Amino acid sequence: MNFELTRITEADLKEFKEMAMEAFQKGFEDKFGRTEKTVLPEKDIDHSLNAKGSAAYKAVVDGEFVGGAVVVIDEETGHNHLDLLFVSSVVQSRGIGKAIWYELEKRYPETKVWETCTPYFDRRNIHFYVNVCKFHIVEFFNEKHPMPDTPEDFIGDGNEGMFGFIKQM
């Protein structure tokens, strides 16, 4: 596998967003069935892309764009956030997500703490973050303990809550 992780360009943006939206939609619909609602709206991707310290990357395997990530880097504190990490559903389970994550860790060696979250229902993602990437679950967001800054139209957790993860470096 010839893997590269490169910063996205303006020309990549449309495909990057479409692939991210499709990956999140498929994960949700695999669990809950078809929905007309958009699980990861473009405005949420834009919010991550426009955040202070944001860096967006595309994963390319053998010349094909297959996934990506958005990180938010705080150079002052070293407390960084993985906002999005996705792999096209067509090529999942081939180590691409792992390659993306390990490359991100290499690119930000000054990181003290990484944070991210994933839906409670998504066992595949929980396995990935805990067993592959070595994050620790530190919080369970739900109706009694809401996640800060969650958009009102958020449906991505299927009303089952979200796990918050931290990885101390």
pLDDT tens, 87-102? 998 988 899 999 999 9
Percentage of the residues of the chain whose pLDDT score is greater than 90: 85
Average of pLDDT values for 114-142? 96
Nearest to 69 by CA among 33, 45, 52: 45
Query: Is 100 exposed, middle or buried, given 0-12, 13-18 or 19+ CB atoms closer than 10 A?
Result: buried
Q: What are phi and psi of 82, to 5 degrees?
A: -90, 105
Q: What is the 3-state secondary structure (H, E, C) of 74-134?
A: CCCCCEEEEEEEEECHHHCCCCHHHHHHHHHHHHCCCCCEEEEEEECCCHHHHHHHHHHCC
Average of pLDDT values for 18-28? 95
Q: What is the DSSP letter of 149?
A: T
Q: Please answer whether residues 59 and 100 qualify as being in contact, where contact means their C-beta atoms are separated by less than 8 angstroms.
A: yes
Q: Please answer whether residues 100 and 57 qualify as being in contact, where contact means their C-beta atoms are separated by less than 8 angstroms.
A: yes
Q: What is the pLDDT of residue 100?
A: 98
Q: Please answer whether residues 136 and 101 qualify as being in contact, where contact means their C-beta atoms are separated by less than 8 angstroms.
A: no
Q: Please answer whether residues 140 and 163 qualify as being in contact, where contact means their C-beta atoms are separated by less than 8 angstroms.
A: yes
Q: Name the pLDDT band for 109 (thresholds 50, 70, 90).
A: very high
Residues near 103 by Cβ (< 8 Å), separated by ≥ 6? 3, 5
pTM metric for this prediction: 0.94
Q: What is the pLDDT of residue 150?
A: 81
Average of pLDDT values for 27-34? 94
Q: Name the pLDDT band for 151 (thresholds 50, 70, 90).
A: confident
Domain spans of the chain? Answer: 3-168
CATH superfamily, with its number, for domain 3-168: Gcn5-related N-acetyltransferase (GNAT) (3.40.630.30)
Please state, in angstroms and as integers, the Cα–Cα distance from residue 119 to each residue in 90, 91, 111, 112, 126, following that order: 21, 21, 24, 24, 8
Q: What is the pLDDT of residue 45?
A: 96
Strand order in the sheet with 113-119: 3-7, 54-61, 64-72, 79-87, 113-119, 162-168, 136-141
Q: What is the pLDDT of residue 146?
A: 86
Q: Name the pLDDT band for 122 (thresholds 50, 70, 90).
A: very high
Average of pLDDT values for 134-145? 94
Please state, in angstroms and as integers, the Cα–Cα distance from residue 162 to each residue in 6, 28, 93, following that order: 29, 13, 22
Q: What is the pLDDT of residue 143?
A: 87
Q: What value does the mean pLDDT of the chain take?
A: 95
Q: What is the pLDDT of residue 159?
A: 83
